[in-house]
Structures are given as C-alpha cells and as structure tokens.
Amino acid sequence: MYIVSPEAPASPPAPTPVEIPTSSLDIIRRHVVWSMAAGLVPIPLVDLAAVAGTQLKMISNLADHYKLPFDEERGRSVIGSLIGTVSALSIGRGVLGSLIKSIPVVGTIGGMAVVPVMAGAATYALGKIFAAHFESGGTLLTFDARAMKDEFSRQLKVGEEVAHGLKDKVAAGIS
C-alpha cells in the first residue's frame, strides 16, 4: 500500500509501514536460515534451485499463516518477477557465486562465502514484502512486483545485514 503525495509527483511514493507480527517474522527467520544452508550446497545452480524452493515454501507458509490460498505456479511467477526487478549486480553476485563453486577448492570456498548471504538476504526481503502485503489484506493474486521493486531493494540491503549477522553468529559458535 502506498501513500500518494501531491507535492512530490516526481519521486515514487513511500510504502505505508505495516506492522508484521512476530509469528510471521518467525516464519521468515526460519526460512532465511534454511536458504543460507541451501546456499552451501557445493553443486553450482543446484544451490540456487534449493534456495528458490525454500523461498517458495516460505511464501506458501506465510499464505497458510494468513489463511490465504496459495498457487505454486503463481508463487513461482511472482518470485521471479520480483527478483527480476532488482539490479543485475545483486542477482549476478548470487549466480556468479554459485558458478564459482565449479572451480575446485578455491571456487567452492569462495562460492560458499557469497551464496549463503545472498540467499539469506533475498529470502528475508521476499518474506518481509509478502508478510507486509498479506498483513495489509493483499493476496498472491493482487501482488504487483513492479510496485514493490523499491521496497524489495531496501529489504534486500537489510537482509544482507541480517544474513551477515547470522553467518557471524554461526562462525562464532564453531570457533
């Protein structure tokens, strides 16, 4: 949902803040962790497929939580549309990180440093966008990826910080 301001027609309207309940945030957090784990799969592109599956499951779980119908094909389409709205640089980092894993040893280590964070960030951003949309009365059918582009980009940046924090917590627990 957006607020329209007649004073500033040249800039896109800011999204209306929506309070996301803890129960929805728990679903998002759980799937961020699963996406980061899927990003660790050492086989190029299989990791990205696992992440996409986790993201689709998260949106399905959020829809169930809000007692909304969920259609898997529509879910895939909406995720693809939304992720396709972000810069090629953001997407490229995740894909490149996945492809780098095909280089023995060095590539695997490098890819495992990049892909889990990007997977977690994208999952976080998707979760926040969909939870806010569902919380404000939207459904999967009324979701407009183009209208959510700027908010998705903002949430992706926040998601990177969240994913780095989770990665650091895990690393601290291992050492």
Higher pLDDT residue, 33 or 47? 33
Closest CA to 83 of 153, 5, 175: 153
Q: 86: which residues sit within 8 A by CB, 6+ positions away?
A: 149, 152, 153, 156
- What's the pLDDT score for residue 172? 72
Does 174 or 136 have the greater pLDDT score? Answer: 136
When pLDDT is averaged across residues 140-147 and rounded to a whole number, the result is 91
Closest among 34, 13, 46 to 122, alpha carbons compared: 34
pLDDT recorded at residue 42: 79
CB burial of residue 69 (10 Å; 0-12, 13-18, 19+): exposed
Cβ neighbour number for residue 27 with a 10 Å cutoff: 21
Sequence letter at residue 19: E
Highest mean pLDDT among 56-60, 110-114, 163-167: 56-60
pLDDT, tens digit, for every residue of 152-171?
989 999 999 999 898 877 76
Of 87, 70, 75, 88, nearest to 126 by C-alpha is: 75
pTM of the model: 0.78
Answer whether residue 134 shows pLDDT above 80.
Answer: yes
- The three-class DSSP label of residue 15 is strand
Q: Which range, of 5-9, 50-54, 124-128, averages the lowest pLDDT?
A: 5-9
